[in-house]
């Protein structure tokens, strides 16, 4: 990698000068992040810019902070907290084995939504149990017909939590009826 005062590899006429600039980076999900004061080398003749490896690490860190991205250290801590083998956890959560390997090596990172999913699964053991047991495949939800509107509505059941011997959070019990009537699972008649 060229450094300050080296001849430009593009024009072979100018020399690279060290300076700091702001970079706009677009993430995998299309989010634009501006990273301020990134050290780069710029050719004084043609304007070609090179970003040294140390700057790549800085840019990656800023992007991770601004997009709430899980680092490879975060991923390792989450998966270690499950107290199961990595193969078991990836199978339980429906992840491919190579996916976890890529996250742990740092060659890829979970996207923002998947990061939220992993945090929720790690924080709430009943969610992990629900996903692991594929409880939705059983009769965890039932369809009933609203007699007035003849509209199917999804009925939330606590069976998965009870079977996993997990306590049902009080706030879910208290808000069960109103929260699930307003949820995206309720179907409304077309106007």
- Candidates 1.20.120, 2.60.120, 1.10.10, 3.10.20; CATH matching 16-67: 3.10.20
- The residue among 34, 37, 22, 39 whose CA lies nearest residue 66 is 34
Sequence ranges of the domains in the chain: 16-67, 72-123, 135-181
pLDDT of residue 70: 86
Alpha helices in the chain (DSSP H): 53-67, 72-81, 86-93, 97-105, 112-123, 125-132, 159-163, 170-181
Contact in structure between 107 and 98 (CB atoms under 8 Å): no
The percent of residues in the chain predicted with pLDDT above 90, rounded, is: 23
Confirm whether pTM is higher than 0.85. no
For the segment 56-71, what is each residue's pLDDT rounded down to a tens digit? 888 888 888 888 888 8
Structure confidence by residue, pLDDT tens digits, 15-57: 999 999 999 988 777 888 899 999 999 999 999 999 888 888 8
Q: Is the pLDDT of residue 185 over 80?
A: no
The domain 72-123 having CATH identifier 1.10.260: the answer here is yes
Of the listed ranges 1-15, 49-63, 77-91, 173-187, the least confidently predicted one is 173-187
**In the prediction, which pLDDT does 169 show?**
57
């Amino acid at each position: 990698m060229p450094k300050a005062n080296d001849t430009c590899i593009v024009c072979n006429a100018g020399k690279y000068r060290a300076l700091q600039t702001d970079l706009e980076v677009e993430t995998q999900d299309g989010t634009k992040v501006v990273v301020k004061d990134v050290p780069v080398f710029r050719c004084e003749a043609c304007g070609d810019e090179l970003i040294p490896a140390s700057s790549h690490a800085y840019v990656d860190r800023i992007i991770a902070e601004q997009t709430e991205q899980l680092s490879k250290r975060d991923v390792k801590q989450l998966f270690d907290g499950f107290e199961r083998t990595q193969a078991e956890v990836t199978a339980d959560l429906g992840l491919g084995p190579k996916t976890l390997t890529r996250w742990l090596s740092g060659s890829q990172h979970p996207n923002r939504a998947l990061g939220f999913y992993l945090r929720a699964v790690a924080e709430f053991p009943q969610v992990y149990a629900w996903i692991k047991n594929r409880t939705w495949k059983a009769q965890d939800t039932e369809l009933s017909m609203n007699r007035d509107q003849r509209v199917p509505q999804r009925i939330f059941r606590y069976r998965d939590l009870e079977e996993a011997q997990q306590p049902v959070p009080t706030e879910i019990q208290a808000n069960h009826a109103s929260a699930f009537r307003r949820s995206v699972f309720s179907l409304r008649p077309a106007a």
